[in-house]
Chains A and B, each alone.
Chain A
């Protein structure tokens, strides 16, 4: 049975329902351990609306959203709502906890770096001219306002999708308190709660290079997030420059794993750990070891 509605569709399978839509440049999927059409329709509608709401609000590519407003404010104070404040607060905490490596202002560096798998490295001068517009510590924000220096840019791309997964999982928990829902947005995954029968969801972890399901993980609760540079890198003189840029130097992190997957209780938490791990480059595994989380690195 296949239902098509605006933007999303769902079907009932043997033991669960699956919901599909496309958002945030990824295929989005929800698996629900129910066969009740009404509940599936409700969750599909809610998840789709919430995901689109977040995508529209925090995407860099939307012309008239709050991110565009902030990024084109030319040093003026911009009013923000509670949700933006909460995300900025979260970004601030990640910045502090990662020794200033996790920085949502580092997107400006993309003006110098074009990761097209070529060998076109920018000059140090080009990098330095971008660096003056990078640095979270230059951002001033309060409960209801933010001020960005002219030419600085915020980019929620590093946490937006994971945030959406966590929010949708939360919504599913609120509206389907007796069901388990697996939310999967292009490999960033969160389970709303364990199945009542104790069974696990089976999640395949792909090898980013071969694309084969390398191992199957039994996920009862919690979240998975993956960060990597599979298709975005530069290669020059045998050195592979990942698209993960160190906001302290303006240069790509060297010797980072190609892909990191972390298991944690919330998707946005797992995503941040994976990203921070990548930013530590060669020390990624040591860092994640210290976090006492389950993780998979492929080099």
Chain B
């Protein structure tokens, strides 16, 4: 009987051959195109009946040799549409004053009150420099500026990375400090003051004076300090993992000047709407773990984030991407994301009786689950450029975290779902 002595190594050898020949030609191509590399994208984000946004991104990177890399990014986005103002829906129509104090908007019976005055254009510029420091270390620094009609943010960041264990293990630390200034149209509202409505005043002057009483100034500031410690580890030829611990400290004006909380009576009828009030500091901790695994042809990217802050919001985020090659030059990437958060301690969909020191009806800090389903198609072109298309569906489902709905509030939807479609075109060259 003949024993099988030899295994088939030809497959592995063919793979090694392809790596050799592809790698070398790429290496020589890289030497030639030591020029600027561009990554561009345009994205549309649309919520039916609510916000629509279009965002364009141009990133440019240049390697000045020996991994001394300069990168810059320009983002332009424009936002229009309506956003929930925090007030409860009622079984009759309601009238609200616009944030500017000029004019009113009316919300039909049963509808979630949406403020339809959102219109903003934002410009963002990032600059960054990264380079090796000795044989096993890397350092980098960056600047981030974002400017809107009513918002300015300037941030500085720095990062350090240390490779060891044959560059299989990387420890990194990064810090960012941001200073933001918020100057909303109509000024900053006085927390817990009642929204002035023209109908409650005898004449325009009385109303204007009443509106001015709800204002405390033109602008407010906020400072954010972020620190992230990271550890990435190559497990084997196919598997790479990353762990991050992040700490974030935000101080300053953290309320949303456009959001109110409804004060309701026993029948659930709104007696008035009061500008929300949030604490002036927030500490967040997060743990992020990511795994990338290369199967024979598929690559599976999976990540989990646990976050917790002193506002009482805990969240879990689970995300998965699968890279499925269709040919040597094309692949599709299905994307799934699941997100769940608990409500902030001071979250109130409405208040009864007395106002609280801190209160907000912003559904975005209430209990919520959300998921995203997406699919991306990427095509490498013959000249090395890369074209991609991405379509995603995002749904948020706010949930009642234990509030009883008195009277008419039982008949309206206090926790409406929000869905959005995201479409993106990308081109790298």
Contacts and interface: CB of A to CB of B under 8 A. Distances in A.
B217 interface: no
Contacts of B4: 290
Nearest to A98: B9
B34 interface: no
Interface in A267-282: 268-269, 272-273, 276, 280
B24 interface: yes
Given A86-B27, A87-B20, A166-B21, A292 B5 contact: no
A288 to B, nearest CB: 9
Interface centre among A81, A82, A280 (most CB of B within 10 A): A82
A170 B13 contact: no
B17 interface: yes
Contact of B21 (A167, A264, A291): A167
Nearest to A93: B16
Contact of A266 (B5, B17, B24, B28): B17
A265 interface: yes
A89 B237 CA distance: 14
Interface string A147-186: 0000000000000000100110010000000000000000
B10 interface: yes
A280 B6 CA distance: 10
Contacts of A42: none
Contacts of B24: 82-83, 86, 167
A93 B8 contact: no
A21 interface: no
Interface residues of B, number: 22
Contact of A268 (B20, B23, B166): B20
Contact of A86 (B7, B13, B19, B166): B19
A269 B18 CA distance: 9
Given A286-B5, A290-B4, A89 B20 contact: yes
Nearest to A268: B17
Contact of B6 (A163, A266, A268, A283): A283
B12 A82 contact: no
A149 to B, nearest CB: 19
A286 B14 CA distance: 19
B17 A82 contact: no
A142 B27 CA distance: 16
A62 interface: no
B170 to A, nearest CB: 15
A291 B23 contact: no
Interface string B123-166: 00000000000000000000000000000000000000000001
Interface string A81-103: 11100110110011001100000
Contacts of A98: 9
Contacts of B166: 142
Contact of B10 (A163, A170, A268, A293): A293
A170 B9 contact: no
A273 B25 CA distance: 23
A93 B12 contact: yes
Contacts of B12: 93, 97
A120 B14 CA distance: 39
A90 B27 contact: no
Nearest to B23: A86
Contacts of B14: 264-266, 269
Given A87-B20, A90-B17, A273-B10, A170 B25 contact: yes
B9 A291 contact: yes
A87 B21 CA distance: 9
Contact of A292 (B10, B21, B25): B10
Contacts of B13: 93-94, 97, 269, 272-273
Contacts of A170: 21, 25
A291 B27 contact: no
Nearest to B3: A286
A287 interface: yes
Nearest to B31: A82
Interface centre among B5, B13, B16, B25 (most CB of A within 10 A): B13
Interface in A242-299: 264-266, 268-269, 272-273, 276, 280, 283, 286-287, 289-293
A113 B33 CA distance: 47
Interface of B: 4-10, 12-14, 16-21, 23-25, 27-28, 166
Given A81-B27, A89-B19, A264-B10, 15 more contacts: A86-B24, A93-B16, A97-B16, A142-B166, A163-B20, A167-B24, A264-B14, A266-B18, A268-B21, A269-B14, A287-B5, A287-B6, A290-B7, A291-B9, A293-B10
